[in-house]
Structure 1
Amino acid sequence: MADVTAAAQGDTHHVRRPQECPMPTTPPAGSMIETRSIDYVPDDERHGKVTHQGPFWFVGNFQPFTLALGFVGPSLGLSLGWTIIAGLAGIAFGTSFMAFHATQGPVLGLPQMIQSRAQFGYRGVLLPLLGTLFTFVGFNVVDVVIIKSGLQSIFGWDPVLVAVVITVAAALVAIFGHDLLHTSFRVLFWISLPLWIVLTCGVLFGGVHGTHAATVGFTFVAFLAQFSVAASYNITYAPYVSDYSRYLPRNTKPSAIIASVFLGASASPAWLIPLGAWMAVYLGASDALAGIDQTGDATVHYLGSVLAVVSTLVLVATMGLNAYSGMLTVVTGLDSLKSITPTRRLRIVTIVVLAVAWLVMSLLLTNATTALNTTLLIMLYLLAPWTAVNLTDYFFVRRGHYAIADLFTPAGMYGSWSWRGLLAFSAGVLAEIPFVDLPFYIGPVASALGEVDVAFVVGLVVSGVVYVAVTRSLDVSRERAIIDAGPDVGAPVMDEENR
Structure 2
Amino acid sequence: MTDSLRENSPGVIRVERRSVGFIPQQERYGNAWNQFTLWFGANLQITTVVTGALAYVLGGDVFWSLIGLFIGQVAGGVVMALHSAQGPRLGLPQMISSRAQFGVYGAAIPLILIIFMYLGFAASGTVLAGQAITNLYHGSTWSGILIFGAASAVFAIIGYNIIHRLSRWVSVISIIAFAYLFFRFFIIADVGDLLSIKEFTWPSFLLAMALSASWQIAYGPYVADYSRYLPENTKSNSVFILTLAGTVISSTIAMSFGVFIAAWAGDAFKGDEVGTVVRLGTGGVVAGLIYLSIAIGKLSINVLNTYGGFMSMMTTYSGFRGKAEIPQSLRIISILIMTTISCLIALLGRDEFLPAFSSFLLFLLTFFIPWSAINLADFYWISKEKYDVPALADPDGRYGRWNVSALIAFIGGILIQLPFVATHFYTGPLVAKLGGADISWIVGLVATTVLYLALRPLDRRTFPDHTILPEENPVRHVDGS
Q: TM-score, normalised by structure 2?
A: 0.91
Query: 1:135-214 alignment to 2 at 5 Å?
Result: 135-150=117-132, 156-204=138-186, 206-208=187-189
Query: 1:331-480 alignment to 2 at 5 Å?
Result: 331-340=314-323, 341-365=325-349, 366-472=351-457, 474=459, 479-480=463-464
Please tell me the residue identity of whatever aligns with 1:281. Answer: A
1:69 to 51, 64, 81: 51
How far off its partner does 1:283 sit? 2.0
Please tell me the residue identity of whatever aligns with 1:270. Answer: T
Identical amino acids, percent of aligned pairs: 29
1:86 to 47, 64, 68: 68
1:271 to 224, 232, 253: 253
**484 and 189 in structure 1: CA distance in 2 versus 1, 3 angstrom threshold:** closer
Please tell me the residue identity of whatever aligns with 1:288. Answer: E
* Alpha-carbon contact 1:208-1:295 (below 8 Å) kept: no
Kindly report the root-mean-square deviation, in angstroms, between the aligned alpha carbons of the 2 structures: 2.5
* Alpha-carbon contact 2:387-2:468 (below 8 Å) kept: no
**156 and 447 in structure 1: CA distance in 2 versus 1, 3 angstrom threshold:** farther
Structure 2 unaligned segments of length 5 or more: list them: none
Q: Separation in 2 of the partners of 1:490 and 1:408?
A: 13
Please tell me the residue identity of whatever aligns with 1:60. Answer: A
Query: 1:285-296 alignment to 2 at 5 Å?
Result: 285-286=269-270, 287-296=272-281
* Alpha-carbon contact 1:154-1:290 (below 8 Å) kept: no
* Alpha-carbon contact 1:408-1:491 (below 8 Å) kept: no
Structure 1 unaligned segments of length 5 or more: list them: 1-21
* Alpha-carbon contact 1:48-1:245 (below 8 Å) kept: no
Could you report, residue by residue, the CA deviation over 1:340-397 in whole angstroms, capped at 9, with x for unpaired residues?
4511111100000011111111111022211221111122111110000000001111
How far off its partner does 1:34 sit? 0.3
Please tell me the residue identity of whatever aligns with 2:395. Answer: P
Q: Separation in 1 of the partners of 2:29 and 2:466?
A: 30
Q: Separation in 2 of the partners of 1:344 and 1:406?
A: 23
Could you report, residue by residue, the CA deviation over 1:411-470 in whole angstroms, capped at 9, with x for unpaired residues?
110000011211111110111111111212211112332332111222111211111112
Q: TM-score, normalised by structure 1?
A: 0.88
**224 and 493 in structure 1: CA distance in 2 versus 1, 3 angstrom threshold:** same
What SS does the aligned partner of 1:372 have?
helix
Deviates more, 1:322-331 or 1:139-148: 139-148
* Alpha-carbon contact 2:373-2:448 (below 8 Å) kept: yes
Query: 1:100-115 alignment to 2 at 5 Å?
Result: 100-115=82-97
**61 and 156 in structure 1: CA distance in 2 versus 1, 3 angstrom threshold:** same
Please tell me the residue identity of whatever aligns with 2:121. Answer: F
Please tell me the residue identity of whatever aligns with 1:358. Answer: S
* Alpha-carbon contact 1:123-1:417 (below 8 Å) kept: yes
Q: Separation in 1 of the partners of 2:126 and 2:467?
A: 45
1:125 to 107, 115, 119: 107
**280 and 161 in structure 1: CA distance in 2 versus 1, 3 angstrom threshold:** same
| Aligned residue in 2 for 1:60 | 42
* Alpha-carbon contact 2:210-2:362 (below 8 Å) kept: yes
How far off its partner does 1:192 sit? 2.1
Please tell me the residue identity of whatever aligns with 2:451. Answer: V
| Aligned residue in 1 for 2:5 | 25
Deviates more, 1:129-138 or 1:164-173: 129-138
How far off its partner does 1:71 sit? 1.4
How far off its partner does 1:152 sit? 5.3
| Aligned residue in 2 for 1:13 | none
What SS does the aligned partner of 1:24 have?
helix
1:40 to 11, 16, 22: 22
